[in-house]
Structure 1
Amino acid sequence: MSDAGYDHAAVERRWQAAWDDADVYRTSDDVENPTYVLGMYPYPSGKLHMGHVRNYTITDAYARYRRMSGDEVLHPMGWDAFGLPAENAAKERDTNPRDWTVDCIDTMRDQMSAMGFGYDWDRELATCNPEYYQWNQWLFTRFHEEDLVERRDAEVNWCPECETVLADEQVEGDDELCWRCDTPVETRELEQWFLKITEYADELLEDIDDLEGWPNSVRQMQRNWIGRQYGAEVDFDISGHGDVTAFTTRLDTIHGATFFALAPDHPISEQVAEDDEDVRHFIEHEADPEGDEPNGVATDLTATNPATGEEIPVYVADFVLSDVGTGALMAVPGHDERDHAFAEKMGEAIVPVVAPEPAEGEEPESPDVSEAAFTDDGVLVNSGEYDGTASAAARERLTEDIDSAEEATQYQLRDWGISRQRYWGTPIPVVHCHDDCGAVMVPEEDLPVELPEFINTTGNPLDAAEEWKQTTCPACGGEATRETDTMDTFVDSSWYFLRYVSPDLEDAPFDRERANDWMPVDQYVGGIEHAVMHLLYSRFFTKVLADHEGLEHREPFTNLLAQGMVQLEGEKMSKSVGNTVSPQRIVEEYGADTARLFMMQAAQPERDFDWSEEGVRSTNAFLGRLKEMVETYVDESPTGEDDAVASYVDAEIDATVALASAEYDDLTFNRALRETQDLTRTLRQYADYTEPHAETYERGLSAVVRLLAPVAPHLAEELYETLGHDEFVVDAPWPTATVDRDYVQKRRRLVTNTREDVRDIIDVAGIDDPQTIEVVIAPDWKYDALEIAIESDAPNLIGELMQESHIREQGDAAADYGQDLQAEREALEVTLGPAEEYDALEAAAWLLEREFEADVAVVTAEEVDDSVLKNAAPGRPAIEIEE
């Protein structure tokens, strides 16, 4: 029981049971107005943390809002249940990953239910269940049929601690650490399975422009990861080895190429290393592609520059990467910072061949590149017949003139290596025939290939599962061995959102018709850490399924929100730091509604915010006061008049509903909740000031309860019932108001500014006991003058105002006001008209009367003399106060 008398535990238990009994959150398969709301499903670590609570409160609140607005909402939950942490935990505890994972899922499901999250649990999935991962295997086979799967030797990232391959995205930081265990990652060459995502590189890149509901930062991260570059490929003749192709985006600088560089694992580098001890030592012991400085070693080779015919030295250099471009590059130190640093280190020439664009009629002047490279486009110098040619035009001419040069496009994106040497993942559905069949796909009728019993061993437990591993070849019937690699868990999450639409379907991964009805996901919420890997792979899968499985949509997520972190004293909550706050403790002490409401009102969802115990207590007290207000209204049945004060409160109810609804649409819950709390405060002030009009007061309380229902659903149900409603608030209609949002904001600004002006006058004048407060509306001509000033771009504003006879007739008053407008011209804002201002302030006069215990009068310009009117302006009425 809280100090405010709010027994959250009893309320939350009661309504969670009621929702379960009524099967409130079950979603029909056949819908007419579908809205798909989804939070990125969690890894079942065993306990919810505050990041989970924030993420899933966002999706739950939005799903509830859309449902109350009349949509049929799909809001499911599942578990990203495969992965190395469970396997490591099982090894440490001498259990098996399945039991560990299932226990964690059970715990987290209970915690989610305690938070009041409104999931359709009938659609729950766990990627470790054969009923799910058989479709990973089926999709792998379909991708293979469409030539989107390849097996080849590749240099891979290897974590010696986890004993598994890591994707590039799973290697973190300058120190190249494993994303799971922070062990330094090594490089190995292994035969791996790849999904050919590069086949979709162009579409993945170009369609980013259409993702208008995604954060710009995420879209840019995807563009950068795909990394498309337009340029040219050109051959350099390497002595004794023939032509070697280099890719460059700056063919206009080829006359400044003073050396040539090869990647350490380029075939020519490896051949040279056989006879050159220095090169071999560099490749084996010194090359560091992630080093702070470019490093390399000279060879005895030369390369012939195809533009100049000159022979230039060849280096093996660690800043050249075999999987970027062609693994070979022409180095132009005058116009590339990295090449410049290397040339300085090795004593190679640095020649400028591009100069800044000269002024008209002047000759280009070679830049000084002794200290730094000139990297901009310009005009060519020191380039023979191309001197004076602009960079872009020179690139075109050189591509035409050099025999080996061809336009080319390169990508940073590489095919997706999905092989993992571990147990707890989807078995790759391939067998390796001992005879001549090679790698053979497991037939569809034999899927799923289920995991065998877990063997607690070092390395990959599937290698130790001899009975499971030995099988027969589906093609020839001979002896064969199962593939012991499992799939990267990002395969699981690349299509799970499709499985939710038909989780029990037995003959396909998803029901095509239902998927086409529900997809794409209308609102997706998750952490920024998945901005590249998960989202890019999901987009890739969706496009493949659109091409080959009849999916009508080529993008999976219409709107994306990347929620911020929950921090404590400025630091991200983390077990390793020891600054976590337990959601379970907060629920037990203050209630789920308090935790949810505090999180949603603390900051916009995209922003980080600091956890505050004081803020939690304040939120809990607010809910207790609201409960007391509703119960008092029901017990006392007020019989106040439908007067000007009630009219003001009615207008505030409409304003709050209009503004809060717009904020819910934008997922700016903190602003919607601020509006709701302000209305609650107004209702409390109303009840303190006078006996409220029952219909107005009940309407206000009902609006507050429904506006809070998406975020604080348990108490909202309790109070909605207290107000006499038989239906669940989750099924109640969202409150509506037909008011102009712009008008509402102007009216509120007027009232707020007027109240602040009264306070300032009383404070500055030292008035202890004001008896009367007179609020004077400005004369009509000032509103006309303001409108002219806002619309005018004339340099002499006063002159333009004086062209209007009714303004000119005001004489010195018009001139003075015109000077004021001229001085504030950039900050002028449209206000309400004089009649609207009068009505708004007349309705709000009770707020001043209540605050200052004084008589308040709102008067028009016609009722006062000119000495008062000179201080009255549109939006800032004159104020006269008497003691």
Structure 2
Amino acid sequence: MSDAGYDHEPVERRWQEAWDDADAYRTSDDVDEPTYVLGMYPYPSGKLHMGHVRNYTITDAYARYRRMCGDEVLHPMGWDAFGLPAENAAKDRDTNPRDWTFDCIETMREQMHAMGFGYDWDREIATCTPEYYQWNQWLFSRFHDEGLVERRDADVNWCPECETVLADEQVEGEAELCWRCETPVEQRELEQWFLKITEYADELLEAIDDLEGWPNSVRQMQRNWIGRQYGTELDFEIDGHGAVTAFTTRVDTIFGATFFALAPDHPISEELAAADDDVRHFIEHEADPDGDEPNGVETDLTATNPVTGEEIPVYVADFVLSDVGTGALMAVPGHDERDHAFATKMDEDIVPVIAPEPDDWDGETVPDAPDVSEQAFTDDGVLVNSDEYSGLESESARERLTEDVESAAHAAQYQLRDWGISRQRYWGTPIPVVHCHDDCGSVVVPDEELPVELPEFINTTGNPLDAAEEWKETRCPECGGTATRETDTMDTFVDSSWYFLRYVSPDLEDAPFDAERANDWMPVDQYVGGIEHAVMHLLYSRFFTKVLADNEGLEHREPFTNLLAQGMVQLEGEKMSKSKGNVVSPQRIVEEYGADTARLFMMQAAQPERDFDWSEEGVRSTNAFLSRLKEMVESYTANEPDGADDAVASYVESEIDATIAIAGSEYDDLTFNRALRETQDLVGTLRSYADYTEPHAETYERGLSAVVRLLAPVAPHLAEELYEALGNDGFVVDAPWPTAEVDRDYVTKRRRLVENTREDVRDIVEVAGIEDPKAIDVVVAPEWKYDALELAIESDADNLIGELMQNSHIREQGDAAASYGQDLQAEREALSMTLGPDEEFAALESAAWLIEREFDAPVSVVRAEAVDESVLKNAEPGRPAIEIED
């Protein structure tokens, strides 16, 4: 290490090479105390950004901490390497996606190495390799065998710029833009492959309650996306077309149904369009499900209300969606805002059938109907204008009507739709299907012919696989006749839905993962990634895990026990973005300040799940802290101190214990900023100790050793250097985590006592205008006041003073007890326990040096029995009396 300061470059290079030479982060396959720590693997875009650095510093710090606690940690890294950006980049640069992707991977791997991330690189995966994506294809075949794959025509989201299908989750905002290129998304009907995630909708929803280690916000987002609604299905007879089933959550409003509506692509709508020019024109030119106002066209049909027998008009309306409910609905404009707007536009009747429940309602009389001419009443209430059901509350009426109507039945509907995995692009997993030219239809490629590898890239518009004529033409696996390969590739979320399983056995050649090893390691103990993946990736991963548990010997039905959604790194309040020109380069920071500085600054700036602003001043301050710590260790090793094991050393020992206990607890909770604040405060205490007196060698060395190990998960390079400088063998990453048997509640009370006392001394000196204190006495309260405080906290008596006076030990204090009792009564709601009198005395005596150092005056800590009553009246538990000689 350099005398000129913290020269990070040789330190970091030295220890990175040492870790590599020793294979320090390799994880054995056979373990006894497994802990699986994982960050969401990145898309290889070419360079790490600050979001990457933060994400992977979080997982790296936690993995290192758990390893020092004695766990055998799996901490792998891989690459989400398929995807449209690589394909577009290859087209722009007249290269191919594979070369582009692997160039990016090499660059990012080198940057990760420079950051000191402790990955087991023997387990590295890249989803674009045949060794990985053959198992996507194998899993597709297994899902197909289980009836979880379907091919059908579907309206899809189509990005004309990317020339591919997008999942609903990839269409962003009210403007419905592509999540990649922000092009307006169109609707097309295409034949698509689907994974039937809806088969697991109930379990996916109900198991959310058990994900106690996930943020509540993420769990709610998943509930909302699955979107289960309970209601009633019942049939309306449409003349000439028979019974048409409608779903409603408000069957209690059926007496107010004044029209019936069909989705534009409902089979009856399509039949009508063939014969009715108005319907056809509306469907082809006017229907806009995303429009600001509901729109529709009246037909010549009527529907029969199954409860009233009334004939009501039938509309084809764009606010009815074929994939929501049944694609048909009873419209009740008096009690639904959308129906109200449509009825007003079409001049249909608006009939109130639910009234607000009056405050003085007796449960029997029927209240007056509300005025719904201008606005729908959408709450539950009491039925009106509903024949024999009038006077029933909504919930009771729903039950009665569902029982009474012959065609009615309880039903559940979901917002969740089957997962369309077809993508019309090259750089993805080929769907392992061939289409026979004879009678076999679509045939799944047999396992022994996997992987179906991608052909050479053809730089063309549209889907390059369509242009790969030689690759497309093949033979049918069933009949041997001519066939054409499926040219769609899989959504890349298939890759990420099980990649965490591949890490446990990345070189396995006869299965996607070793079930026995997976059952040892899974579920992932701590998963870290961005909130933007709260729906797609996490939901699909949960789906895959449940299917594999049902069919492939996996013993766990959830993939991730604990989830942390890390916040963004911002610059001046805005997310870093190339388009905004506010990007800070991690490479520059590492070159200028070092990886440890970047890591430490990020982890201490805020809790991991919160956004924080990047600050160059903060980076410099962090670098200066590391330099000071380095100087402290060098000074200690060059000139070992020979101070006394006295009260000052005792205080420092107690602070070392407190820091170890608190920092460890904060590491457990991933609140690294608090752990690091504790550690930095301990460094400050050690510096003050050395400035005040000749330190006790064992105490000072123990403090430095604790600091080095507490910092090791976040600043591993310098920690290794200082760990060695302190005379230790081996790596600090293998060192045991420091331990201390100390009660955190006791520590909190002791620190509060010391800080309050120092603050009181400052206040007295300032108010009294004392420029040069000669001596300071700190007087601990008498024991009876501690007893009174404890009684006051435990008591629920209205007359607290009376209860205190029943205690003879307190009563014999006379007026002093009465006065203190009045104080306790006045502050009763805010009272809290303090240390006992002996503990307070010991804590203050050991901390007296801090006051002496600050005010350059001798400090005496005095017990109550050694002073006059006039002094004691100001001494209270947790707030000793202060006497200052001027």
Structure 2-normalised TM-score? 0.98
> Paired residue for 1:106?
106
Q: 1:296 to 1:657 in 2, by over 3 A?
A: same
> Paired residue for 1:72?
72
Report deviation, 1:271.
2.6
The answer to whether 1:558 aligns with 2:561 is yes
CA distances 1:650-694 after superposition (whole Å, capped 9, x unpaired): 010000000000000000000000000000000000000000000
Q: 1:253 to 1:19 in 2, by over 3 A?
A: same
CA distances 1:733-788 after superposition (whole Å, capped 9, x unpaired): 00000111111111111111111111122122221111211111112222222222
CA distances 1:461-484 after superposition (whole Å, capped 9, x unpaired): 000000000000000000000000
Q: 1:795 to 1:492 in 2, by over 3 A?
A: same
Q: Counterpart of 2:528 in 1: which secondary structure?
A: strand
Query: Aligned runs of 1:481-880 on 2, under 5 Å?
Result: 481-880=484-883
- Contact preservation (8 Å) 1:433, 1:480: yes
Amino acid at match of 2:855: F
Query: Aligned runs of 1:37-436 on 2, under 5 Å?
Result: 37-358=37-358, 359-361=360-362, 363=365, 364-436=367-439
Q: Distance in 1 between matches of 2:872 and 2:237?
A: 89
Q: 1:186 to 1:879 in 2, by over 3 A?
A: same
- Contact preservation (8 Å) 1:706, 1:729: yes
Amino acid at match of 1:679: L
Q: Distance in 1 between matches of 2:502 and 2:519?
A: 12
Q: 1:785 to 1:369 in 2, by over 3 A?
A: farther
> Paired residue for 1:7?
7
Q: Distance in 1 between matches of 2:185 and 2:301?
A: 33
Q: Distance in 1 between matches of 2:120 and 2:346?
A: 65
Q: Counterpart of 1:432 in 2: which secondary structure?
A: strand
Structure 1-normalised TM-score? 0.98
- Contact preservation (8 Å) 1:76, 1:119: yes
Report deviation, 1:256.
1.4
Q: 1:318 to 1:639 in 2, by over 3 A?
A: same
Q: Distance in 2 between matches of 1:277 and 1:881?
A: 99
Q: Distance in 1 between matches of 2:4 and 2:601?
A: 17
Report deviation, 1:3.
11
- Contact preservation (8 Å) 1:605, 1:667: yes
Q: Distance in 1 between matches of 2:332 and 2:883?
A: 77
Q: Distance in 2 between matches of 1:864 and 1:308?
A: 93
Return 224-233 or 863-872, whichever deviates more: 863-872
Q: Distance in 2 between matches of 1:651 and 1:672?
A: 17
CA distances 1:211-231 after superposition (whole Å, capped 9, x unpaired): 000000000000111111111
Report deviation, 1:146.
0.7
CA distances 1:54-106 after superposition (whole Å, capped 9, x unpaired): 00000000000000000000000000000000000000000000000000000
Q: Distance in 2 between matches of 1:616 and 1:122?
A: 33
Q: Counterpart of 1:555 in 2: which secondary structure?
A: coil
- Contact preservation (8 Å) 1:4, 1:625: no
Amino acid at match of 1:511: D
Report deviation, 1:274.
3.3
Give me the identity figure in percent: 86
Q: Distance in 2 between matches of 1:879 and 1:372?
A: 70
Return 378-387 or 597-606, whichever deviates more: 378-387
CA distances 1:429-457 after superposition (whole Å, capped 9, x unpaired): 10000000000111111100000000000
Q: Distance in 2 between matches of 1:432 and 1:639?
A: 85
Amino acid at match of 2:871: V
Amino acid at match of 1:831: T
Flag structure 1 segments of 5+ consecutive residues without an equivalent.
Answer: none
- Contact preservation (8 Å) 1:232, 1:248: yes
Q: Distance in 2 between matches of 1:16 and 1:311?
A: 80
Selected match of 2:465 from 454, 462, 466: 462
Q: Distance in 1 between matches of 2:804 and 2:544?
A: 64
Report deviation, 1:4.
6.5
- Contact preservation (8 Å) 1:657, 1:736: yes
Amino acid at match of 2:533: H
Q: Distance in 2 between matches of 1:3 and 1:354?
A: 83
Q: Distance in 2 between matches of 1:447 and 1:295?
A: 50
Q: Counterpart of 2:316 in 1: which secondary structure?
A: strand
Q: 1:516 to 1:879 in 2, by over 3 A?
A: same
Report deviation, 1:550.
0.3
CA distances 1:305-330 after superposition (whole Å, capped 9, x unpaired): 11111222222222211100001111
Q: Distance in 2 between matches of 1:345 and 1:847?
A: 79
Q: Counterpart of 2:417 in 1: which secondary structure?
A: coil
Amino acid at match of 2:56: Y
Amino acid at match of 1:147: G
Flag structure 2 segments of 5+ consecutive residues without an equivalent.
Answer: none
> Paired residue for 1:22?
22
Q: Distance in 2 between matches of 1:293 and 1:775?
A: 75
Report deviation, 1:833.
1.0
Q: Distance in 2 between matches of 1:85 and 1:342?
A: 43
Pairwise CA RMSD: 1.4
Return 404-413 or 616-625, whichever deviates more: 404-413
Report deviation, 1:348.
2.7
